[in-house]
Amino acid sequence: MLFQEMLDQIKGEARIKQDDTLDEIVFGIINQQFKEAVQNNRPWELRKAEKIPLTTGNSLFNLPQDFYLWHEILFNDADTGRVWGLVDQDGAAQPAPIGMYGHPKSFEIIENNQIFVNPSSSIVTGDFINLVYYKIPPIVTEEILTQENPIPRLEPFIIAASIRRVRMFHDDDMAVAQMLTGDIQQAAQGYTKDLPEEKE
């Protein structure tokens, strides 16, 4: 399906087919749906692997320009050839393998598209990270409406969710608001797991 066809279907079913002033709002909603779909469904079409070389004395390394969401991060030790997975710094870090004391165990994605590797004291030039990640999903603008959507299996989700959200901008229908409750609850699930636990 072309992005133009997707836009026409959303506008038609949301009853705003004749109103071009809402196109920018619809683009924003579609783009948000693509991001949510990647976070929830992890589409293989956007999965990519890249090797990030590491250097002595550094702990911050640049991520690929198209990086959106990490899937797996493996540290490769140049001296021994051993490979092990790094864990998110917010989680419980396992010790490095036997004989690899002081080598990296965890990572943190920094806002300016960099990865922080910890600890970094034993990193030497020649070590590298195998990064498996998801690329930035398509960003729909007026300029790419004639292009084909690269992930057609996400179209039903994107169209249905976009129609509900578009209707909220021009319709006071309570049924639409109730349909959004499911979207809100789904989005909130990711945060409920991160709540701090009080000590007894």
Distance, in Å, from the CA atom of 4 to the CA atom of 140, rounded to the nearest integer, reads: 10
pLDDT digit string, tens, across residues 143-188: 999 999 988 888 888 888 888 888 776 665 566 666 666 666 665 5
Which residues, in sequence order, are CB contacts of 78 under 8 Å at separation 6+? 124, 125, 126, 127, 128
3-state SS class at 43: coil
Which residues, in sequence order, are CB contacts of 98 under 8 Å at separation 6+? none
pTM score of the predicted model: 0.76
Amino acid sitting at position 44? W
Beta bridge pairs of residue 147? none
Whole-number pLDDT of residue 193: 55
Distance, in Å, from the CA atom of 10 to the CA atom of 21, rounded to the nearest integer, reads: 14
Q: Identify how many contiguous H helices and E strands the chain contains and give both numbers.
A: 4, 8
Reported as half-sphere exposure (CB side, CA atoms, 13 A), residue 3 has a value of 19
What is the pLDDT of the chain when averaged over all its residues?
84
